[in-house]
């Protein structure tokens, strides 16, 4: 049943990513250009700073216009979680080295064997 849920979640996430691929690409391009504009804004001074600020504001509005891409990024994260949890086993086997009672049990068995 767990695998069915993972397949279902992964399939839905993949469909969402494919449906929003265009806006995801537009968001990536606009954020990359916005980063470059921000770097130029920091380096410049005076009226150049105002010009870079206007260009940055326009690019920020374009980036905000790609809201469906944020849903696609969330779906990509869900797809990553499905991939990560695919082969995870349910059993919780306690390692004997980490079990605090393993040493006690060994000593108790030694004591009972001697008597």
End-to-end C-alpha distance for the chain, whole angstroms: 50
Q: Which of 34-38, 96-100, 109-113 has the lowest mean pLDDT?
A: 96-100
Supply the mean pLDDT for the chain: 84
Instruction: Report whether pLDDT(103) > 80.
Output: no
Instruction: Report whether pLDDT(29) > 60.
Output: yes
Instruction: Report whether pLDDT(28) > 60.
Output: yes
pLDDT in tens, 44-97: 888 999 999 999 999 989 888 888 888 898 999 999 998 888 877 665 555 556
Tell me if residue 67 falls in helix, strand or coil.
helix
Tokens encoding 114: 């001697």
**What does the CA dihedral 53, 55, 59, 64 come to, rounded to 10 degrees?**
50
Contact call for residues 4 and 50 (beta carbons, < 8 A): no
What is the rounded CA–CA span in Å between residue 100 and residue 102?
Answer: 6
- The stretch 17-42 carries a mean pLDDT of 92
């Amino acid at each position: 049943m767990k695998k069915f849920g993972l397949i279902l979640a992964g399939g839905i996430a993949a469909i969402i990513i494919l449906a929003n691929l265009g806006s995801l690409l537009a968001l990536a391009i606009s954020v990359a250009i916005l980063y470059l504009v921000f770097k130029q804004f920091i380096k410049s001074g005076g009226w150049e700073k105002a010009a870079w600020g206007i260009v940055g504001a326009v690019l920020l509005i374009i980036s905000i216009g790609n809201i469906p891409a944020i849903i696609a990024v969330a779906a990509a994260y869900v797809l990553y979680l499905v991939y990560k949890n695919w082969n995870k086993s349910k059993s919780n086997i306690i390692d004997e080295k980490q079990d605090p009672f393993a040493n006690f049990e060994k000593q108790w068995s030694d004591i009972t064997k001697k008597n």
